[in-house]
């Protein structure tokens, strides 16, 4: 049965800027928002867009990701006409190699694309926080007769050099593209979300694979080459909340954003129709002690709050002792804060333990990451 749109999620980055959080865990499998993993958002967007076949392309520590995703049941991808494929570098007749870049990761899995037969291919990153319906983007792609459509959003001009920057005419057709330019001429930034017409994608991936001078990357190689050859590339303007959580600071900020009703509504306001699915573990309800204080915080099941928390995101199984004070803290599953301890502007990693009366203190813009035991 031929499918109209399939998705491939690039989930193989090492995520070194998340430091100890990704030492043994793939970046997309890092905990977020008290009850989610980062990759839940891309997978849920696919589920909510009626995409029946999704491939997750892993590489670094992909065992953690594979264990979490399993059959894809959480996102409705384990049915008769649906599938969640977990792909990683493999040994072939040519030998065994890590993926050389984002384009090479897709090229190495062209056999999977062929096996599910689709008119269009959606390519995503597995480490972005946002909620959307890709059907709207596909509509843009089809109506414009595009070979490739890129989801874009306007960013502050002072941050534009961090992104792939596009220029587009009134019709939305891309006229120029530059990956991370030192002196950007526009603030229209690529979100790393692409829809390709399948036959065109295959043509340019095969051509790129033969180019020994290529870095085999969509932003550096595929998109510029397609523009040079006159292919029809259009933009789809994204509206709403979107965050790349590639650093400790951005991960902390995205968690804090969930505590802002306006920003949280942009991400979860559609949840009645487009929920974010996650593989929750069964736990007891959370407990707040009689002398505890909870202000402007998210508190997940299985947690015990005996101290004071303000602007915190508390995951399942967290324990906060009597007299402890946590302010602007992200507490990942199983984290424990001892009685009388003080934690400020920080992320506490899974199963970390802050001893009684100890201090873990960061500051805005310099978030403390604590993953050990005191």
pLDDT computed for residue 93 by the predictor: 58
**For 17-21, 46-50, 132-136, which range has the lowest pLDDT when averaged over its residues?**
17-21
CATH of region 287-370, choose from 3.40.1390.10, 2.30.110.10, 3.30.300.30, 2.160.10.10? 2.160.10.10
Q: What's the per-residue H, E or C state across 120-187?
A: EEEEEECCEEECCCHHHHHHHHHHHCCCEEEEEEECCHHHHHHCEEEEECCCCEEEEEEECCCCCCCC
Sheet holding 353-354, edge to edge: 287-288, 304-305, 319-320, 336-337, 353-354
Report yes or no: 168 and 235 within 8 Å, Cβ to Cβ.
yes
Give me the residues paired with residue 5 across strands.
Answer: 120
The pTM assigned to this predicted structure is 0.93
CA distance 5 to 173: 22
Interacting residues of 114 by C-beta distance below 8 A, sequence separation 6+: none
Confidence at residue 159, expressed as pLDDT on a 0 to 100 scale? 87
Token couple for 132? 């959307």
Percent of the chain with pLDDT over 70: 95
List the beta bridge partners of residue 29.
none
| 13 has pLDDT over 80 | no
What's the pLDDT at 272?
A: 57
Domain ranges of the chain: 3-268, 287-370
Q: How far is CA 152 from the centre of its chain?
A: 16
How many percent of the chain have pLDDT more than 90? 72
pLDDT at 94 over 70: no
34: left (phi over 0), alpha (psi -120 to 50) or beta: left
pLDDT single digits (tens) 210-242: 999 999 999 999 999 999 999 999 999 998 899
Overall average pLDDT of the 257-271 stretch: 77
- DSSP, residue by residue, 86-114: EE----BTTB-----SHHHHHHTTHHHHH
Instruction: Pull the structure tokens for residue 215.
Output: 């870095």
Highest mean pLDDT, choosing among 111-120, 181-190, 305-314: 305-314
Q: Cα 325 vs. chain centroid, distance in angstroms?
A: 30
Site of tokens 């989930």: 11
String of DSSP letters for 280-334: PPP-PPPEE-TT-EEES-EE-TT-EE-SEEES-EE-TT-EE-TT-EEEEEEE-TT
State the DSSP string of 176-245: EEEES-SS-S--EEEEEEEEEEHHHHHHHHHHHHT-TT----IIIIIHHHHHHTT--EEEEE--S-EEE-
Contact 123, 193 (CB under 8 A): yes
With beta carbons less than 8 A apart as the criterion, state whether 184 and 165 touch: yes
Q: Name the residue with tokens 């007769």.
A: 145
For residue 278 the two structure tokens come to 């996650």
- 3-268 CATH choice from 3.30.300.10, 1.20.1290.10, 3.90.550.10, 3.30.230.10: 3.90.550.10
Measured over the CA atoms of residue 113, residue 114, residue 116 and residue 119, the dihedral's sign is positive
The number of angstroms, rounded, from the C-alpha of 362 to the middle of its chain's C-alpha atoms is: 25
d(CA 176, CA 168): 7
Quick one: pLDDT band at residue 317, thresholds 50, 70, 90?
A: very high
Residue 146 CA to residue 142 CA, distance in Å, equals 7
């Amino acid at each position: 049965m031929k499918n109209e749109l399939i998705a491939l999620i690039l989930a193989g980055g090492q995520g070194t800027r998340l430091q100890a959080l990704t030492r043994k865990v793939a970046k997309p499998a890092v905990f977020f928002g008290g009850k989610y993993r980062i990759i839940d958002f891309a997978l849920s967007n696919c589920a909510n867009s009626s995409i029946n076949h999704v491939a997750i392309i892993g590489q670094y520590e992909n065992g953690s990701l594979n264990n979490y995703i399993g059959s894809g049941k959480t996102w409705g991808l384990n049915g008769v006409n649906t599938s969640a494929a977990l792909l990683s570098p493999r040994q072939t007749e040519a030998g065994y190699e890590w993926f050389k870049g984002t384009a090479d990761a897709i090229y190495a899995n062209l056999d999977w694309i062929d096996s599910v037969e689709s008119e269009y291919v959606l390519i995503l990153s597995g480490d972005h926080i946002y909620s959307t319906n890709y059907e709207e983007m596909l509509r843009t792609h089809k109506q414009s007769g595009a070979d490739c459509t890129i989801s874009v959003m306007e960013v502050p001009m002072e941050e534009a050099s961090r992104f792939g920057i596009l220029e587009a005419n009134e019709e939305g057709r891309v006229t120029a593209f530059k990956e991370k330019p030192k002196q950007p001429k526009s603030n229209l930034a690529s979100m790393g979300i692409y829809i390709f017409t399948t036959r065109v994608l295959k043509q340019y991936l095969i051509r790129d694979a033969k180019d020994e001078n290529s870095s085999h990357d969509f932003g550096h190689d595929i998109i510029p080459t397609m523009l040079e050859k006159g292919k029809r590339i259009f933009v789809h303007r994204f509206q709403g909340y979107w965050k790349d959580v590639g650093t400790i600071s951005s991960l902390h900020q995205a968690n804090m954003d969930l505590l802002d009703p306006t920003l949280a509504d942009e991400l979860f306001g559609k949840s009645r129709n487009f929920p974010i699915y996650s593989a929750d573990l069964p736990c007891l309800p959370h407990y707040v002690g009689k002398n505890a204080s909870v202000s402007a915080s998210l508190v997940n099941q299985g947690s015990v709050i005996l101290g004071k928390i303000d602007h915190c995101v508390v995951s399942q199984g967290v324990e906060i002792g009597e007299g402890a004070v946590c302010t602007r803290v992200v507490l990942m599953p199983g984290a424990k804060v001892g009685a009388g301890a003080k934690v400020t502007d920080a992320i506490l990693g899974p199963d970390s333990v802050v001893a009684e009366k100890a201090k873990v203190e960061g500051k805005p813009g310099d978030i403390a990451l604590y993953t050990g035991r005191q």
